[in-house]
Structure 1
Amino acid sequence: MHIKGDDTLLFIGDSITDAGRARADPTSLGNGYVHEIAQTLRDRANAGSGPTPGPSPRVINKGLNGNRVYDLESRWTTDVTDLRPTVVTVKIGINDTWRHYDSGLPSPVHEFEACLDRLLASTAQTLAARLVVITPFLLPVTPEQEGWFDDLVPRTEAVLRAARGNGAQVVRADLALLRAVQDREAAELAPDGVHPSPLGHRLIADAWLAAVDTRTPVPRR
């Protein structure tokens, strides 16, 4: 897949995507991986040949703190379909696991998968958009969080099935961060085990660029 200057890239998900964006400003991208991706693509366009910079894609951030997959479904028409993106990236799943442990809020994996599958299938049919799915991840910083994998592992497998069943490009953020944590403390990449540090966000951006836009060189970190 190659990203073109006339593409509209829409990112939707939970707080990891939100990353502090200003809700009242539709151009705000937050301070996380979405901003990093947009900046890299702008830098590439500006480095093109010719006296003026080339076009860079429009980037929209529709992440929202606390969202589970069902929250995405409730706002999908206004926050995705109506905006007519050409590339849709979804990052969801960790809150479905987290709320199970801290609030007892159920999100059965089969229902989670069915919901995500509906969103991807309807988007492909309605928009003919290219689909990208970023896997959820966890870098435990407490003994309690180690137990979350009992729920997160099958949920990640559900994400992969839904993505592949709908022809979506998969970005394995979970594997990228696990590789990175071999040389660093988990808290350096995600201080609370869930929300990435600036370095963690950059690694997610690098994983997205490596999987989705092969023209953009991604440095080793």
Structure 2
Amino acid sequence: MSLFETTEVLVFFNVLLQQLGAPVPAVPTMILSASLSAQWSGIFLLAVVATSASLIADWAWYIAGRYYGYRVLSVLCKLSINPESCVSQTESRFRVWGPWSLVVAKFIPGFSTVAPPIAGAVKMSILSFTIASALGAFLWAMAALLAGWLFKDQVNAIYAALQDNLFIVGVVAALICAFWLMWKLARRDAFQARLKLPKMPAAEVLALVKAGQSNLRLVDLRPAMVQEAEPLAG
């Protein structure tokens, strides 16, 4: 099968993998697929396919957040390039925007993956979650698909040029990604170096608490929404 015969399948699995957290961009695939479509019905079908794939991934993350709470978000943020600010930024966006955060989440890199589990952790209703998530996914997909449709001649010309110079393009893209990753990792290491403080093992803290140490004070520095969802006694 050629790309012309499998655009719907390609878009479905590309969007599904991206929304599950895999580092595979879906927007270029949707733009290219739209440029190959001959009719508006094909654009609408691709939008429905992309929305369906996104919803499947979002439901999976929602259920994980519903049953495992903020532990899911902690795991996701550990994979983030900026784990120190991941939880607080996600919590603040969800608190300010509410259900609308799920609509705009698809347009914010990284946030589209962490928003569904936080919706599950705060026990957002499945109906409200599905409506907001589907609307956001459809608008996000249509934006990319319309761009590919409106600029199909330019997209096809760029695609042909890339095929003719695939090796050079690959080398340049790899260098750009490598420099970007090195810059982000350097910023991350610098930030972590400033945060280094003496640490006490959890087992030792628990032993002091059980011993009734009167001068021991525990301060919960987790975001407010995390504290409300998973309160800690004392």
TM-score (norm: length of structure 1):
0.26
Looking at secondary structure, tell me which structure has more helix per residue.
Answer: 2
TM-score (norm 2): 0.25
Structure number with greater CO (CA < 8 Å, separation at least 6) is 2
Rg larger for: 2
Structure with greater strand share of residues: 1
